Copies of this chain bind each other. A is one copy, B any other.
């Protein structure tokens, strides 16, 4: 793995995620500066170990935007202008399409670490928050592969596994596994709470299952209006699907079709038990070398192809080829997942070779 520049980072927005990234980067040997619109919080970030110093660092070669979603494009542009083209700037916003539409610098890499907690602010920050988590990166046609590789290394150094997805694809998927579940949890909690005004015993009956299901509703609500506004169509469409599915379940229950009900529940159970675990390190890695035409977007095409297949990127490298207007992309993936990715890449008509590592 290549070294990560000067290892000076500036984190803008030191809440739960920004604070955790600051702590994690410091643990990994980085010198971290913290900026927050609230000067008190900026100072607190230093006091609680999320940064080495408060204030901007013009020497940083990594900028992390961890502000509320609505401020991300503006702050990212500011960082890009101030840190210059050799620095890499990334963000952690939960919706990526609008951000990547607004910020088109080659050295900006959209990111979304799929971790968090119902706690909030620096109080909940934890350097190990991203251990075993999936960290989505959203390269586009214009993304500089070197900036992508650097951001991947940062995510990996915090313990996360990188999955590359197109911004719009990311947004559609998180609507299903994050945004809509959050709205459902809040809605169920509201419904139960309203019913409990007439039935005081109701919440006494809320056992572990209900507590598990509504836990995310205890998180800070402030981020959700922005998320819902920016990912509106995917959320509405996913909510529509869920409501249609619930109405089918309602029909099955109402008509007493218990055989159908048990089938549905058995499928759900099998799926829940097969949820990918928290990233056990693969026993064997494989290195896939791909000769790629030297044109914009090929790197994003390759990495997001891997992401769409559910293939994590453990390491990657980009080299220019001695053979003229082409390059070599080296992707390190799990040995188990390599064949499916190799086949898909063949389908694109690119030359590739596979080598097992270790």
Please give the residue numbers on chain A whose beta carbons come within 8 Å of chain B beta carbons, in ascending order. Answer: 114-117, 133-134, 136, 163, 165, 169-170, 172-174, 176-178, 180-193, 195, 199-222, 224-226, 228-229, 232, 235-236, 239-243, 245-247, 249-250, 253-254, 256, 258-259, 261-262, 264-269, 271-273, 275-276, 307-312
Contacts and interface: CB of A to CB of B under 8 A. Distances in A.
Contacts of A186: 249, 264-265, 268-269
B207 A116 contact: yes
B269 A254 contact: no
Contacts of A181: 188, 209-210, 213
Given A184-B213, A191-B241, A268-B187, A174 B205 contact: yes
A254 B191 CA distance: 20
Nearest to A164: B201
Contacts of A189: 268, 271-272
**Interface residues of A, dominant DSSP:** helix
A273 B185 CA distance: 13
A205 B265 contact: no
A201 B221 contact: no
A81 to B, nearest CB: 29
Given A177-B203, A213-B213, 19 more contacts: A114-B207, A115-B207, A176-B192, A176-B202, A183-B249, A183-B253, A184-B246, A187-B249, A187-B264, A187-B268, A190-B264, A193-B271, A203-B275, A218-B273, A220-B269, A221-B265, A228-B261, A229-B256, A246-B246
A176 B190 contact: no
25 contacts: A116-B207, A134-B205, A163-B204, A173-B205, A176-B192, A176-B202, A177-B207, A178-B210, A181-B188, A185-B209, A186-B269, A187-B242, A190-B264, A193-B267, A193-B268, A200-B308, A202-B310, A206-B275, A209-B215, A213-B216, A217-B265, A217-B269, A217-B272, A239-B249, A239-B250
Closest 6 A/B residue pairs (Cβ): A200-B310, A225-B258, A221-B265, A193-B271, A186-B268, A114-B207
Contacts of A195: 173, 176
A207 B268 contact: no
For A224, A245, A249, the residue with the greatest tally of chain B CB atoms inside 10 Å of its CB is A249
A205 B232 contact: no
Contacts of A312: 204
Contact of A309 (B200, B235, B236): B200
Contact of A224 (B169, B222, B241, B262): B262
Contacts of A308: 199-201
A246 B242 contact: yes
